[in-house]
Amino acid sequence: MLSKSHPRYESLVLREKIVKASKAGYLADSAMIAHGRGEAFDYLLGEKTTLPAKRAMYVTVAIMLLSKNPVISVNGNTVALAIDEVIEFAKSVNAKIEINLFYRSDERVDKITELFKNHGYPEILGSNDDEIEYINEIKNPRASASKNGIYTADTVLVPLEDGDRAEILARSGKNIITIDLNPLSRTSRMSDVSIVDNVVRSLPFMTKIAEDLKLQDKKLLLDIIEEYDNEENLKESLKLFKIDEE
Ligand code: ATP
Ligand code: MG
């Protein structure tokens, strides 16, 4: 049992979730490595949501509320860490959710499909029964997408995406938004909006933002998007990493 007074309690809880998911058999072997990389970046951020991350989240919600077919892509790590938070956020901005595994296997997809059902979300896309197409007709598993989901989406939110797939998405002409703790990753650099934050903090935060922005005029949402500069925001995120003692 983890003690709540442990200084690394929250981080250890997330680690346990990843270990549990790995045992449940829906994570690829590399998932723990990806999580570890995320942990290291989060440590340097002080495990807090930064101002540039919040700014990127407002822009994300504004874009999603104005999109015709926004889709949230989920992989094993996102499911392990934040399945309910993903479902809630999707509902708040009227987005679809699609399973998108870098190392796709029917077994892992079935397990994740089942988990979404158990969490009250049977309409998950990207399941083994779904109709799959290839983005820009690129016959590569990295380009696969659900016909009614990412394939036809105008906006895709991809937490923890791998750089190879992010590149295909970035070239597709869709709005690509990522949540990635590493501001230097190819994914962060190639996206239109990069949220440098932990998925477990950013998804509930965006649900709250959505409650507010839903009540605002379209003009305000357009202004939020117009004023935003992702490159500048990424630079600001990078400056907040602590690499020397204060
Ligand atoms: P890229 O392929 O984009 O250059 P990478 O190879 O460093 O990046 P991957 O292993 O492909 O990264 O993907 C994992 C990414 O997800 C890492 O950048 C890591 O920092 C990030 N990450 C891991 N856990 C979390 C989390 N809980 N929240 C947000 N980001 C996370
Ligand atoms: Mg990678």
Residue 195 lies in a domain: yes
> How many C-beta atoms surround the C-beta of residue 151 within 10 A?
22
Q: Tell me the pLDDT of the chain averaged across its residues.
A: 95
Residue 245 lies in a domain: no
Which of 160, 162, 169, 237 has most ligand 1 atoms within 8 Å of CB, for mutation?
160
Residue 245's pLDDT band, with cuts at 50, 70 and 90, is: low
CB distance 187 to ligand 1 below 6 Å:
yes
Residue 235 lies in a domain: yes
Better-predicted residue by pLDDT, 140 or 23: 23
The two tokens of residue 4 are 């709540």
The rounded Å distance from CA 163 to ligand 2 centre is: 5
Average pLDDT over residues 19-30: 95
The rounded Å distance from CA 6 to ligand 2 centre is: 32
The rounded Å distance from CA 62 to ligand 1 centre is: 24
pLDDT digits (tens, 9 = 90+) for 47-76: 999 999 999 999 999 999 999 999 999 999
CB distance 182 to ligand 1 below 6 Å:
yes
Residue 3 lies in a domain: no
Please report where in the chains the tokens 């987005």 appear, as a residue.
95
How far from 243 is each of 45, 48, 179, 237, CA to CA, in Å? Answer: 10, 16, 22, 13
Residue 40 lies in a domain: no
Q: CA 166 to CA 188: how far, in whole Å?
A: 9
CA nearest ligand 1 atom 26, residue: 198
Which of 33, 86, 187, 201 has most ligand 1 atoms within 8 Å of CB, for mutation?
187
Contacts of 168 (CB under 8 A, 6+ apart): 135, 136, 138, 140, 142, 143
How far from 99 is each of 31, 81, 96, 115, 208, CA to CA, in Å? Answer: 15, 15, 10, 11, 24
The two tokens of residue 86 are 């993903």
Residue 246's pLDDT band, with cuts at 50, 70 and 90, is: low
CA nearest ligand 1 atom 8, residue: 185
Residue 199 lies in a domain: yes
| DSSP 8-class letter at 194 | E
CB distance 228 to ligand 1 below 6 Å:
no
Residue 17 lies in a domain: no
Output the CA angle 146-234-62, nearest 5 degrees.
55
> How many C-beta atoms surround the C-beta of residue 30 within 10 A?
13
Percent composition of the chain: helix, strand, coil (DSSP 3-state, to 5): 55, 10, 35
Residue 23 lies in a domain: no
Global confidence as pTM: 0.96
- Domain range for 155 is 51-239
pLDDT at 200 over 90: yes
pLDDT digits (tens, 9 = 90+) for 115-160: 999 999 999 999 999 999 999 888 888 888 999 999 999 999 999 9
pLDDT digits (tens, 9 = 90+) for 162-193: 888 899 999 999 999 999 999 999 999 999 99
> How many C-beta atoms surround the C-beta of residue 87 within 10 A?
20
- Number of structural domains the chain divides into: 1
Q: How many CA atoms, within 13 angstroms, populate the side-chain half-sphere of residue 156?
A: 31
Number of residues assigned to the chain: 246
Q: CA 222 to CA 211: how far, in whole Å?
A: 17
Confirm if 207 and 221 have CB atoms less than 8 A apart: no
Using a pLDDT cut of 70, give the percent of the chain over it: 99
The domain that contains 101 carries what CATH number?
Answer: 3.40.50.12640
Q: CA 173 to CA 242: how far, in whole Å?
A: 35
